[in-house]
Amino acid sequence: MNNWLSLILCIVYIFGIIGAAELLRHRLKYQPSFTRKVIHIGVGMMSWVVPFIFDSPWYFVSACLFFAVITFLDWRYHLFAAMASSDPSNLGTVYFPIAAAAVTIVFWENPPLMVAALMPLTWGDGIAPVIGRAFGKHSYTVWGHTRTLQGSAGFFVFGMLFTWLALWIIPGPIDITPLSAILPALVIMLLTTLVEAISIWGLDNLTITAGAIMVLLLWPF
């Protein structure tokens, strides 16, 4: 596929996800705390096709930087209610595309690792607050930020599932079997679950990804 066409499709897809989240908020009355995570997961899952629709990482990196600008403007001027955070100091939506750009540059030649590095952030961090709000009964506080054990468990379980699937399913230059994908996914999720629990100010979008990158760079596949 033509790189420029792929870039346009990525941008259309991103705004389509934002539009769907706005529809959920406006028509079905979902709260921004939920629609924000719809965007989070929807945009993150785009990584599954990125290695196969671009010939170079720089087109997608440019899309990530464009989205970073959009999210910063949204944080500053409240353009999209569906992305609103209850914490005005939280720049997590800005850090997300920056993290995606970094992963793309580091692992472009190895698609399974590229996608896997983003799954703790995409699904773990995306689903944790949803589960925490719905089922969280045991809370803990770190640096003044409260989370729940149920939310952290959701982070681990969903992140583990999709990190494992990415390592196994995404084709790449190394052969990763379903069995051999379990241990690295487990180590990634143990580390990133801990990192997420102690990160504040939306920095978990960077620290989670940094932890996943570190494990995948050191892992002897």
Of 3-12, 55-64, 84-93, the least confident: 84-93
pLDDT (0 to 100) of residue 141: 85
Q: Is the pLDDT of residue 60 over 90?
A: yes
- Taking residues 60-87, report their average pLDDT: 87
What is the span of the domain harbouring residue 88?
Answer: 3-218
- The overall average pLDDT reported for the chain is 92
Per-residue pLDDT band for 30 (boundaries 50, 70, 90) equals confident
Least confident of 41-45, 134-138, 169-173: 134-138
pLDDT score of 29 more than 80? yes
* Confidence band for 1, pLDDT divided at 50, 70 and 90: low
Q: Is the pLDDT of residue 215 over 90?
A: yes
**CA–CA dist 63, 206 (Å, integer):** 18
Q: How far apart are CA 126 and CA 132, in angstroms?
A: 11
How many domains does the chain divide into? 1
82 pLDDT more than 90: no
Q: Annotate the chain with DSSP letters as a single string.
A: --HHHHHHHHHHHHHHHHHHHHHHHHHS---HHHHHHHHHHHHHGGGGTHHHH-SSHHHHHHHHHHHHHHHHHHHHH---GGG--S-TT--HHHHHHHHHHHHHHHHTT-HHHHHHHHHIIIIIHHHHHHHHHHH--SEEEETTEEEEHHHHHHHHHHHHHHHHHHHHHS--SS---TTTTHHHHHHHHHHHHHHHHH--TTTHHHHHHHHHHHHHHH---
Q: Average pLDDT in the 14-26 region?
A: 93
* CA–CA–CA angle 115, 121, 125 (5° rounding): 145
What is the model's pTM?
0.93
Would you say residue 216 has pLDDT above 90? yes
